[in-house]
Every structure is written in C-alpha cells, then in structure tokens.
Chain A
Amino acid sequence: MKTTETSPAPAAEPLPHEVKAGRSGAGPGEGGWRGRGRVLNAFSHGVLVLWAFMVVMPLLWAVMTSFKDDDAIFSSPWSLPDRLHFENWSRAWSQAHMSDYFLNTVLVVAGSLAGTLLLGSMAAYVLARFDFPGNRFLYFLFIGGMSFPIMLALVPLFFVLNNIQLLNTLHGLILVYIAYSLPFTVFFLTAFFRTLPTSVAEAALIDGASHTRTFFQVMLPMAKPGLISVGIFNFLGQWNQYMLPTVLNTEPEHKVLSQGLVQLAVSQGYKGDWSGLFAGLVMAMLPVLAAYAVFQRQVVAGLTAGALK
C-alpha cells in the first residue's frame, strides 16, 4: 500500500482549471494578494499533509503490526518488526477461519449484487418509463426505505426469517441484502433510465420486439454506465456490511468477513493472539484497497453519484 508513490503522476497531470490558466495576461487584482496567496498556499499544504498522514498512518501501522510477534506488539507498538512474521498470516488464514469468512462473503456478495442489479433495474425501468396508476406511490415506497432506520425493521424481520427457515443461512442473507439495497438502486436507476432517449426503445418496439426483449437487449446495454456506478456502490456496501449479518446471521460457520473479524478480535483477546488478528484485518483490508487503487475513478464516481443527483 505505497500510496505516496502515486503522488507525482497525478500531480503532473494538469487539472481542468489549470489548463485555462495560460490563456490571457495577468488577471486583474492578482498582484494585490499574491503575498497572501503564498501564505495560504503554505498553510493549505500543511493542513492537507497532516490529514493525509492521519488517514494513511493507521493503515500503514496495521500492515506493519501484522508482521510482528505478540511481544513486540505490546512492548513497542511503533517499532518496525524484527523480521517479517509471515506465520501470522497463515495462522489467521487457516486456524482463525479467515478463509471461510472470505468464501462466505464472496458467495453472499456475488449473489446479492447480481440480484440487486437485476431486480433494481427491472423495477426502476418500469417506474421510469411507464405510466400506470400507483407509479408515484410505488416509487416513493421504494425510496422511502433510504431514510428509515433499518434496525427498527430488523427486530420483526429476525422472527419472520426464523419462521420461513431463512435465518442464519447464506441464501437468506442474500435476499435480505437485495431487499435493503433496492431503495438506493431504484432511486439511482430510475433517474438514470429517465435520461436515456426514448426513440431507441420505440424503434425496437416498432420492429416487433416485446417489452421484455427491448429491456434486456436495448435498454440494459444503454444503461451500462449507470449499472456500473450503482454496482460499485452496492458492492462496497454489501462487502462491508456489518449490521445486517450481525443481527440475522449468527451461525459461526456462516459468518461474513466483517463479523468474522469482530469474532476474531473477541476470541483472540482470550488467546492473546493479536498478531493473528492484525494479519486478519490487513488481509480483509488489502483486496478492497487494491481494487480501489485500480478502479479509483469509477469507485469515486459510483459512490458520489447518488449525492450529486
């Protein structure tokens, strides 16, 4: 996670508004506060570097700690490890069940992400493109779910799931993830489908395609950028989900990553295996951070898209 290495490259790239800078002569009034600008510049760099340090430091510290032995973690938390204790990682992976937690998370997120995108785009398409009685009501019913405290519903939901034999199962968790991802997905995709031109879909219908075929073969491919954004949003939300599995999925073998780590923190506390816990934490952190580093632009677009609408 060598974040500092990325700094020269983006900095060299001109920012959109810097490009305009070389256009005309000196701007009016510029000379007057050039000195003040320098002070502001130095100050802003200082503050920005400090916060960057505060954000990156704990993460680097966790990586470093995961390579130390337990004695060193407690006696000198800030010193470098004496050697790289890779055994922490293998211990966490196999004995502490990190591999199981990973597998469960991958299964649940794969199922729920696919389901969310499919069901969400179907509902959003109908709500965005068809006029029928109750359209507005259903739309607000869906998006209303965004502002309600989920915990309130989880109390009865626990017993509903228990009655239909879905409590503590992975497929039950998948269905719950889909249901609770629908409000934002429908909200986002409805807005997106509204922006797409109607003429293409009309042409397809005139050519004899059914509504269903038009949706899957014409509209979905056109909605790809929206699906990617909302897909990234849901992927991170579901991968990192903590509250839903904590309440609805308490079976030890079915635990997902975030729960598994908390479980690990509790049990390793008794065993005193803190190095194993840190290895587990870093193991869970790295794939997401690596994916973010690679798909940085898309992730940021996906996560901020909803709020900018």
Chain B
Amino acid sequence: MKKLINDPANLVTEALRGMAAAHPELRVDHENRVVFRGDAPVRGKVGLVSGGGSGHEPMHGGFVGPGMLDAACAGEVFTSPVPDQMVAATQGVDGGAGVLHIVKNYTGDVMNFEMAAELADGIEVETVVVDDDVAVQDSLYTAGRRGVGTTVLLEKIVGAAAEQGRPLAEVANLARKVDDCGRSMGMALTSCTVPAAGKPTFDLPETEMEIGIGIHGEPGRRRVPLAPAREIAEMLVEPVLSDLDFTTDPVICFVNGMGASPLLELYLMYGEVAALLEKAGVRVARSLVGPYITSLDMAGCSVTLLRADDDLLSLWDAPVDTPGLRWGV
C-alpha cells in the first residue's frame, strides 16, 4: 500500500485538520468530526445535514457552504458516522426552521441517522434517503438501491432551495423529487485499498472490469472483459435510460470519477455519453464532469442522469460557494 498517510488510524482526523486549515471559511468540530459552514446556524433557514463514511471526498465535507450543506459528518473510511456526530450537526445547524437529513441508502447510514433523529430532541427533523443506483435490484430481497451520484446533484439543488428560505416540508419534498428523478450506474477498472485493510478490497485482473459497482470497493453485479470507452459508456447509459424515461424533460448529465481516473478520461467518457444521449433523444441542459463522489483510489466512473424541470434547473444554476462546487459567487 502506497498512500499519503501517517497512520491509518489517524487518517480521518488528520484530513479534517487539513480541511480546516485550507478552508478557514468553514468551522470544523474536530471532537465530533463535523464540518460546519462558518455562519451556522443561519436563522430562519432550513439546516441541511449530510454525512457518511470518509473516502468519497469531496462529498460530503467539500459540499458545505452557502448554497449547499450546512454541516457534514465524517465517519471512518467507508463507515457511517455515529449518532452523536449527527446530533451535534443537527443542533449546530438548527436555525429554528428545522433540519433535513440527507442520507445515502446504506444500512449503516440509515440506522445511525434514524437513531440520531430519535435523539435530536425538540428539533424538527425530516429525512430523505437517496437511492439512485440502477445496478441494484430494488426488491424486498436487497437493502434497496444504493445512494450514489444523484446525492451530489441533490445536495446542490436542495441547498439552493433552503438558501431561498423555503420551508422544511417543501425542501424535504423537493429532495424526494430529485431522488425520484435521478438514476446512476457505475463501473470500476481497479479495486480500491482501504487504508486500515492495507490491501485492495478485491482482485481485478488487468484484462477485466466490474460493471455495476458502488462507491465502497464492493464488487459489482458482473465482471466482464475490459472494453473501449465507447462500449463502457453503452454499458452505463443503457441501464439508466431503460429504468426511467429521460426524454420528457431536459437532464443534468453527471460523469463522475471514482478517484483514480484522470479528468482527461472522464471528458472522453462524457463525450461518449453525450453522443449516446443525443441518439436516444435525451436533451442535456447542464453537465458536471469530475471526481465528486469517489471511492478512495478506485479507477472508473459513474454516469448519473437527473430529469430537471425549470425549477430544478434554476436551483442548479443558483450561486454555490463550497470547496467542492463553486459558481455564481
């Protein structure tokens, strides 16, 4: 294992220290491992709290700031944060208008946020669970679809709505609508190495790739021979398009890097994806390309499409000022 670390046990703590040093506009609660926007709580504004395991940076701590999240809880690598952290975050962002928990659909995250909502006495908490990964069968026999790429778009859009002063119920409904309108599919060229484990989570030979992976180095749905980017794009776009009709509204198209794939390759992938969408009659209104929801040092990418009406598009375009996304400011 070759990594820029001192001791795997201190990785998250030390990364948060660096984040605080690099972004004095944020306030980092080191004891609870929560990144707050500097002016939290904002009076009268719905507070947005997210969080999850570390290893997906810039999500979620990098999306804290005006126009996006009010606080993000950092768990250990690929491990949900604990309820104490979420309670501290919820109390720290409550400006009197209630708090929305944005939770990616993983068993641990859902259970810990559930316990936190029970423990956050006296604060009105709504929860949205993001589950957009079409690689997972949504059935009684699984934990349900995983929360992946749509989470990034949702935090941006819902963050803008909260910034406008919309009330909690409306913000929560908007979040659920974004989740309903987004679909993702991912793939990996390599595994990733969890620092505490010290070796790659799974073996993936030079000549093979995993289709339908999540963001934790968990193996995907199937392993296939390595193929050119054009064919990989088809393997990602086809299941997304066949899961939801994306021809009714314009879409936001998001090509995400898993951590180790260079932007050069991600733009190439975006070109392939855009060509497929045009052929399928899907009109792309906005795009996002880059590593925004990563899986440590995994190579690979995911494609997310979000059906976006005028309200969603104008919220997407609204100013945002965070370490990970910044425009209009």
| A, B: real partners | no
A binding-site residues for B, Cβ under 8 Å: none
B binding-site residues for A, Cβ under 8 Å: none
